[in-house]
Chain A
């Protein structure tokens, strides 16, 4: 051996530490960048006054659209319900905006459609059999996109612009 064994040990120690540091750096980088998409939707709630004024001026008003009946025991296929600024509720009860009295699988107050700034949202109101958006049961309010099929009991509605 040409090398001094103490020097070799030192180099190895440095290499070992370097390896561990690199390993943790890798983890740090991933956690940093991966956690970024957790806060993407709302970077900050506070807007600069000029920006806020601009937002106020150009506010386009809530999204609108209409709901077309695809399949229902109660309603005519093709019948449509306009969504402008007001909420629409749907269910078996008569107090609903869209009443589907003969749908046995619907709850009295089943779901609500709400036009907001960022689109029309659908929310299940604690129904027994659930509200399905494109076949997936709603577990929280969802934003509709054009062509979405919403199923309430045995009634299918399609969201259109």
Chain B
């Protein structure tokens, strides 16, 4: 109850800040973000009240940063374009942080975390937004020459690009790599309107994916889990070192999550009534409140609730793309479209992974998942979209 009141007050504060700083901004985005965050917080509270408290704290930080972004850039966010190279380099720097020996932390095979004392942070989430700002600025300036395809103009783009990919390979962050690549291709297409680049990019991606699959055992494992999560005979299990059915070993998490979604059926079990723990009170699915929160929600809200959740995401993306269409200048257009596409693609990667449509990679569900860095980054992303739409709508009214 206190959570609900507290959350409502926080949302009201965010709303007032928005009304004050960006009065012409799209009115639907903030309520949608509020709804998603509230659903996420409820589910996290139901799974683990201690985590909910920490998530609540992070949401406060996120809303504070959201307000700060609006206040700082409310007048004219387009001066960010001047610092585009700074953004590109900082993005790489942030991505590199977890590799540093003292700061970095490896969780579940991916080295994505930075920790200071007991505080843990995933810098990649913020790097995503910085990279989008860089790409928007650079492509806006060079879109005509990029469309002509001279190698010289591609230089800086490719350098930052290859660096980002190398960092992701080093940290074994497959979901992140896929996300960045998708954003890059989508923005390139939007800037140049050349479908050929997308075709070449997808071709390169396929070649690269097969290459990585051949050399990296981590990736091979993921693909095997995706294609054959169940086995009828016992196979070698690298986790325990014994022979076991695969559903009891590597694909345990995915298979249990699929059972959990199936258990929800059409109408769901109802919030708080789903089966998430075994008889000993231990959680069945590891990482249920971060990467797998969609499966918990799908169990408790059922098909109808999970579909509603996806509809809410779709509306958010629709509004974002509308903002990009309305924006007057190239930088705003590209930035808004890039941010929206990143948001949409991230949702697709994790939901698709959980539903076994694509190989599963650990990434957060925007606004809903437990995770401080994700919530903070998504609120900053939201602030960016509001800034662009505020400017576009103000120009239209003039």
Residues of A bordering B, CB below 8 Å: 12-13, 15-16, 19-20, 23-24, 26-27, 30-31, 33-34, 134-136
B328 and A20 within 8 A (CB): no
CB-CB under 8 A for A135 and B315, given A16-B267, A16-B271: no
Tell me, in angstroms, the Cα distance from A23 to B330 when the chains sit together. 36
Count of chain B residues near A, Cβ 8 A = 21
CB-CB under 8 A for A20 and B304, given A30-B28, A31-B315: yes
For residue B270, which residues in chain A have a CB less than 8 angstroms away from its CB?
A: 12-13, 15-16
Find the A residue at minimum CB distance from B270. A16
Tell me, in angstroms, the Cα distance from A16 to B269 when the chains sit together. 9
Tell me, in angstroms, the Cα distance from A16 to B304 when the chains sit together. 12
- The reply to whether the CB of B242 lies closer than 8 angstroms to some CB of chain A is no
- 6 new A-B contacts, CB < 8 A, other than A19-B271, A34-B28, are A15-B270, A20-B304, A23-B312, A27-B312, A30-B32, A34-B318
Residues B257-293 near A (CB distance < 8 A): 267-268, 270-271, 273
CB-CB under 8 A for A136 and B329, given A15-B270, A30-B28: yes
- Show 23 residue pairs from A and B whose CB-CB distance is below 8 angstroms, ordered by the A residue: A15-B270, A16-B270, A19-B271, A19-B301, A19-B305, A20-B267, A20-B301, A20-B304, A23-B305, A23-B308, A23-B312, A26-B31, A26-B35, A27-B311, A30-B28, A30-B31, A30-B32, A31-B315, A34-B315, A134-B328, A136-B328, A136-B329, A136-B330
A12, A13, A15, A30 pick with most chain B CB within 10 angstroms: A30
For residue A23, which residues in chain B have a CB less than 8 angstroms away from its CB?
A: 305, 308, 312
Tell me, in angstroms, the Cα distance from A117 to B202 when the chains sit together. 47
For residue B120, which residues in chain A have a CB less than 8 angstroms away from its CB?
A: none
Tell me, in angstroms, the Cα distance from A111 to B35 when the chains sit together. 48
For residue A26, which residues in chain B have a CB less than 8 angstroms away from its CB?
A: 31, 35, 312
Tell me, in angstroms, the Cα distance from A136 to B319 when the chains sit together. 22
For residue A12, which residues in chain B have a CB less than 8 angstroms away from its CB?
A: 270, 273
Find the A residue at minimum CB distance from B42. A19
Tell me, in angstroms, the Cα distance from A135 to B32 when the chains sit together. 34
Tell me, in angstroms, the Cα distance from A19 to B302 when the chains sit together. 12
CB-CB under 8 A for A135 and B305, given A16-B268, A30-B32, A34-B28: no
Residues B291-329 near A (CB distance < 8 A): 301, 304-305, 308, 311-312, 315, 318-319, 328-329
CB-CB under 8 A for A20 and B308, given A13-B270, A15-B270, A30-B28: yes
B329 and A135 within 8 A (CB): yes
For residue B330, which residues in chain A have a CB less than 8 angstroms away from its CB?
A: 135-136
State how many angstroms separate the Cβ of A143 from the closest Cβ of chain B. Answer: 12
B315 and A27 within 8 A (CB): yes
For residue A15, which residues in chain B have a CB less than 8 angstroms away from its CB?
A: 270
Tell me, in angstroms, the Cα distance from A138 to B116 when the chains sit together. 51
For residue A135, which residues in chain B have a CB less than 8 angstroms away from its CB?
A: 329-330
Find the A residue at minimum CB distance from B315. A30
Tell me, in angstroms, the Cα distance from A27 to B330 when the chains sit together. 31
Contact among B301, B319, B328 for A34, CB-based, below 8 A: B319
Tell me, in angstroms, the Cα distance from A34 to B330 when the chains sit together. 24
For residue A136, which residues in chain B have a CB less than 8 angstroms away from its CB?
A: 328-330
Find the A residue at minimum CB distance from B308. A23
Find the A residue at minimum CB distance from B398. A145
For residue B308, which residues in chain A have a CB less than 8 angstroms away from its CB?
A: 20, 23-24, 27
A interface footprint on B328-366 (CB within 8 Å = 1, 0 otherwise): 111000000000000000000000000000000000000
Tell me, in angstroms, the Cα distance from A23 to B268 when the chains sit together. 14
Tell me, in angstroms, the Cα distance from A16 to B267 when the chains sit together. 9
For residue B319, which residues in chain A have a CB less than 8 angstroms away from its CB?
A: 34
Find the B residue at minimum CB distance from A145. B398
State how many angstroms separate the Cβ of A140 from the closest Cβ of chain B. Answer: 11
Tell me, in angstroms, the Cα distance from A24 to B35 when the chains sit together. 12
State how many angstroms separate the Cβ of A114 from the closest Cβ of chain B. Answer: 21
Tell me, in angstroms, the Cα distance from A58 to B209 when the chains sit together. 66
For residue A134, which residues in chain B have a CB less than 8 angstroms away from its CB?
A: 328-329
Tell me, in angstroms, the Cα distance from A31 to B330 when the chains sit together. 28
Tell me, in angstroms, the Cα distance from A102 to B268 when the chains sit together. 71
Find the B residue at minimum CB distance from A31. B315
State how many angstroms separate the Cβ of B73 from the closest Cβ of chain A. Answer: 21
State how many angstroms separate the Cβ of B389 from the closest Cβ of chain A. Answer: 12
State how many angstroms separate the Cβ of B300 from the closest Cβ of chain A. Answer: 9
State how many angstroms separate the Cβ of A133 from the closest Cβ of chain B. Answer: 10
For residue A34, which residues in chain B have a CB less than 8 angstroms away from its CB?
A: 28, 315, 318-319
